[in-house]
Amino acid sequence: MAGRGVGCHFNGKIDRPRLFGAPLSVHELRSLVDVNSARECGVAVAIWDMSRGITTGHVEDVSGNGLHGTLVNMPMRGATGANWDQSSMSWSEVPEQYGAIHFHDDDMIDCAWQEDARLVIPSDWRSGFYAVRMTGKSRSGQPVEGYVSFFVSAKLGERQAKIAVIASTATYLAYANITSGFDDPLREVPQEGLIILRPDTVFLYDHRELGLSTYETHKDGSGCCFSAAKRPILNMQPPGDEFNYANDTHLIDWLEEKSISYDVVTDEELHREGASLIKPYALVITASHPEYVSRQMLDALEAYQSAGGRHMYLGGNGFYWRIAFHSEISGLIEVRRGHTGTRTWEGEPGELHLSFTGEPSGTWRSNGRAPQRLVGVGFAAQKFDGSVPYRRLPESYQAEAAFIFEGVDEEEIGAFGLRGDGAAGLEVDRTDVNLGSPPNIVRLATADNLGAGGMLAEEDIPISHRGTTGDQTSDARADMVFFKTAQGGAVFATGSIAWCCSLSHNHYDNPVSRITENVLKRFVDPTPL
């Protein structure tokens, strides 16, 4: 077999494997120490207890022979074993019942590529979104180009601006190399139209060795719960997919057009450094779709707001899925889809706790921390057949909200945009006092005219009935809100992914742009609200 690659990869669970050697003499048996078992006159060469060290990439041999293992490309741990008796849903409570590891032939967290080029970031580069442009020729001789996106953060303790824009790198990873447009036979149903396939998407379909997104399933039908940065990621680059990274670049473009200084902070930095990372900033901005969030990230944002920080959330369906970053491997996230929430797969019973930390995964709403508690609004509906404008509400004319609409005479806000010709669309959020929207919240505007294409969030449909679309229920809507927090802090939220994609309309001279600028300038001003 010398010189041949590994083939015939196994897809499925392996539970507490044991390796037995040839029969030994009585003298040889007595000479062994800590032998745990023997079978058919043989001896245990290795007994791998995979219920130990679930948070690690190591497999422990308990035979005493020291034949420990190392996992490659992160197969799924925290998987129920053959002895799981349903007495607990958490591997951290009964680890002895989680002695299985789920292996897949397309697990991928590190391509281990050889270095062809290196870019050393000059120390005088300012913080921001960047991309390396690469050019070449295809096999047919046609010119091609691609980009490698990256972010330059301000050095710790060396703030360069009063504003921090949080790059939603956990969400970028969750969607990295998504190909569900090919694999999901119902994909076009919520889209209300034909799927548009970019050349990169077609390439990814043919090259699954580049790793899956967390929206895909492995060949055996189990969900992909890991995503890593150490591989080619083709859909998070300019011009890119219509979600996430590409939408966020519209906000960056607007800040540059308005000559507004800002620093960039990534999700993983916020996760690892906590509230101290953003404490120096007068304003933090979360952009179009900060969907995937760790407990440490939520804790940091809550602490920042409670200490007087001001937060602009310019997106929709944010703070939705509970994830974890790996404690040792950078750029690696884990999510377990629960049995509620908008999802493309469901985790198996008993396998909804994160192997990195032991925490429950699923939506933050099902974990008792609905987005409304942080930013006043939370996921309400999908709207993929075209976006719509907001209309101002009577509360927007209160004195405390006057600064938001300075120079805005229109009653209708955002009947334009690069995502569906409107500022409210794709995925939208609403207030809900039962889920934690604060009592002092001010509903400034709403987009409650989503029509039949506005589909209510799955978690808001406890029983099947007809009134679940935007032409039947007012729960399917986007709310623009403002509220004050402790010690002079405040939150402004738009509740729509499409908002940032309306900023540049009419050469940046439009109500969406004006409202965003009004709030930003007032939030940076330390004068008490």
Give the pLDDT band (50/70/90) at residue 477.
very high
Q: If you average pLDDT over residues 472-496, what whole number do you get?
A: 96
Give the pLDDT band (50/70/90) at residue 186.
low
**Rg of the chain's alpha carbons, rounded to an integer?**
26
Q: Amino acid letter at 139?
A: R
Nearest to 360, CA basis, from 60, 24, 90: 90
239 prior amide bond cis, ω within 30? yes
Please write the tens of the pLDDT for every residue from 214-263: 999 998 999 999 999 999 998 898 887 668 999 999 999 999 999 999 99
Which residue has 């802090």 as its token pair?
489
Q: If you average pLDDT over residues 273-297, what whole number do you get?
A: 97
Q: pLDDT at residue 382 above 50?
A: yes
Q: pLDDT at residue 4 above 70?
A: no
- Cα separation, 300 vs 308, whole angstroms: 13
Nearest to 311, CA basis, from 369, 247, 375: 375
Nearest to 492, CA basis, from 445, 528, 526, 454: 445
Q: What percent of the chain has pLDDT over 90?
A: 76
Q: pLDDT at residue 42 above 70?
A: no
Nearest to 428, CA basis, from 482, 490, 381: 381
Q: How many domains does the chain have?
A: 1
- Cα separation, 364 vs 319, whole angstroms: 7
234 φ/ψ sector (left φ>0, alpha ψ -120 to 50, else beta): alpha
pLDDT of the residue at 217: 92
pLDDT of the residue at 276: 96
pLDDT of the residue at 415: 97
Whether residue 407 lies inside any domain: the answer is yes
- Cα separation, 147 vs 152, whole angstroms: 16
Whether residue 112 lies inside any domain: the answer is no
Q: If you average pLDDT over residues 302-327, what whole number do you get?
A: 98
Whether residue 49 lies inside any domain: the answer is no
Give the pLDDT band (50/70/90) at residue 23.
low
For 367, the domain range is 150-524
CA distances from 220 to 53, 103, 352, 450, 525 (A): 25, 10, 18, 38, 55
Strand ranges inside 319-370, DSSP E:
321-325, 332-335
pLDDT of the residue at 34: 42
pLDDT of the residue at 187: 67
Q: pLDDT at residue 385 above 50?
A: yes
- Report which DSSP code applies to 1: -
- Cα separation, 45 vs 67, whole angstroms: 8
Rounded (to 5) percent helix, strand, coil in the chain: 20, 25, 50
Of 473 and 197, more confident: 473
Of 145 and 259, more confident: 259
Residues 503, 416 contacting (CB under 8 angstroms): no
- Cα separation, 317 vs 371, whole angstroms: 9
Residues 365, 380 contacting (CB under 8 angstroms): no
- Cα separation, 10 vs 218, whole angstroms: 12
Q: If you average pLDDT over residues 196-208, what whole number do you get?
A: 82
Please write the tens of the pLDDT for every residue from 276-285: 999 999 999 9
- Report which DSSP code applies to 95: G
Residue 180 in 3-state DSSP? helix
Range 516-527 burial, b when 16+ CB lie within 10 A, else e: bbbbbebbbeee
Whether residue 384 lies inside any domain: the answer is yes
Q: Is the pTM of this model over 0.85?
A: yes
Q: What percent of the chain has pLDDT over 70?
A: 92
Q: If you average pLDDT over residues 182-186, what whole number do you get?
A: 68
Tokens of 184: 């999901």
Whether residue 312 lies inside any domain: the answer is yes
Sequence-distant (6+) residues with CB within 8 A of 238 are 131, 147, 149, 246, 249
Q: Across the strands, what pairs with 476? A: none
Of 493 and 206, more confident: 493
pLDDT of the residue at 194: 74
CA torsion through residues 331, 129, 404, 480, sign: negative
Tokens of 351: 């396998």
Whether residue 37 lies inside any domain: the answer is no
Tokens of 151: 């972010």
Sequence-distant (6+) residues with CB within 8 A of 404 are 396, 444, 482, 492, 515, 518, 519, 522
Nearest to 187, CA basis, from 61, 79, 344: 344
What's the CATH code of the domain at 410?
Answer: 3.40.50.880
pLDDT of the residue at 198: 78
Whether residue 247 lies inside any domain: the answer is yes
Whether residue 43 lies inside any domain: the answer is no
Residues 377, 354 contacting (CB under 8 angstroms): no
- Report which DSSP code applies to 492: E
Please write the tens of the pLDDT for every residue from 404-457: 999 999 999 999 999 999 999 999 999 999 999 999 999 999 999 999 999 999
Please write the tens of the pLDDT for every residue from 320-351: 999 999 999 999 999 999 899 999 899 999 99
Count Cβ atoms within 10 A of the Cβ of residue 354 and give its class: 0-12 exposed, 13-18 middle, 19 or more buried: buried
Q: pLDDT at residue 38 above 80?
A: no
Report strand pairing: 412-413 vs 292-294.
unpaired
pLDDT of the residue at 115: 87
Cα 244-246-249 angle, rounded to 5 deg = 105
Long-range contacts of 270-277 (CB under 8 A, 24+ apart): 270/166, 270/296, 270/297, 270/300, 270/301, 271/170, 271/296, 271/297, 271/300, 271/325, 272/296, 272/325, 273/156, 273/300, 274/299, 274/300, 274/303, 275/299, 275/300, 275/301, 275/303, 275/304, 275/307, 277/156
